[in-house]
Amino acid sequence: MEDLRSSETWRIFRIQAELVDGFETLHDLGPAVTIFGSARLGPESPYYAAAREVGERLAEAGLAVITGGGPGIMEGANRGAEAGKAKSVGLNIALPHEQVANTYQDLSLTFRYFFVRKLMFVKYAIGFVIFPGGFGTLDELFESLTLVQTGKIRRFPIVLYGSAYWQGLFAWLHETLLAHGCIGTDDLALLQVVDEPEEVVRILTAHHETTRALIDGDRRRR
C-alpha cells in the first residue's frame, strides 16, 4: 500500500514537470493556430497537401502552427509552417504505436499525459483547424466545442476542413442532437466547414485581427 501511495505522489511531480516545461517553452510563442488530423493520411493524401499549404500560409501571416507532432496531417502542417515566417511546434505524445515525431518542428515537446498536452493545445491557440482524422481528432474537436460552449475558454474559430469528410457528422448533429433538443442552433454555429486552404487562413487571420483590436482597446481603457 505504501508503494502505491508513493507512486501516486511521484506522479504529481511528473505532471508538474510537464506543465512547467510546456509553459516555459511556449511562453513567448505568440499567436498560434492548432491543427489536428489523422496520423495515417500521408503525403499521398490531398488532405496532407492541404494541411501543408494551410501551415505555410498561416506561418507567412505571422501565426505559429501547433500540431500533435506526429506523421500524417500533423507532419504536413508542420512541414508547411517550417517554410514560413512563424514557429512550427510539435506537442508529441509517448504512445506504444503510431506516434513518431516528424522532423519539421522548430519547437518540440514530448508529453506522457494527454491532459497536459491538451492544455497546451488550447492555451496558446487563437483557433483550431480540424482535418479528417480518427478518435483522437474527434476527441479534440468535441473537447474544444465543449470548452467554448460552456464559456471555459474565449470563443475562437473551430474550422473543419473537408466538407465531404464531415458531412455525415453534420447530418447527425442536425438530425439527432439538434432534433432532440440536446444542442441548440447557436451551438452548431460554433463550427465552420471549408474546402480551401485560403478560406482557413482568412477566417483565422480575421479573428486574430479582431481579437487583437479588442485587447488593445481594453488596454487603452485601463
What pLDDT is recorded for position 3?
A: 58
Rounded to an integer, what distance in angstroms lies between the CA atom of residue 59 and that of residue 62? Answer: 5
As for how many domains the chain has, the answer is 1
Give me the residues paired with residue 159 across strands. 129, 192
What pLDDT is recorded for position 118?
A: 96
pLDDT tens string, the chain, 222 residues long: the values are: 455 556 777 888 899 999 999 999 999 999 999 999 999 999 999 999 999 999 999 999 999 999 999 999 999 999 999 998 899 999 999 877 656 889 999 999 999 999 999 999 999 999 999 999 999 999 999 999 999 999 999 999 999 999 999 999 999 999 999 999 999 999 999 999 999 999 999 999 999 998 876 544 443 444
Give me the residues paired with residue 88 across strands. 65
Residue with cell 505571422: 62
What pLDDT is recorded for position 11?
A: 85
Q: What CATH number does the domain containing 64 carry?
A: 3.40.50.450
Domain that holds residue 114: 2-221
Give the SS3 label for residue 33: strand
Give the SS3 label for residue 211: helix
pTM for the whole structure: 0.90
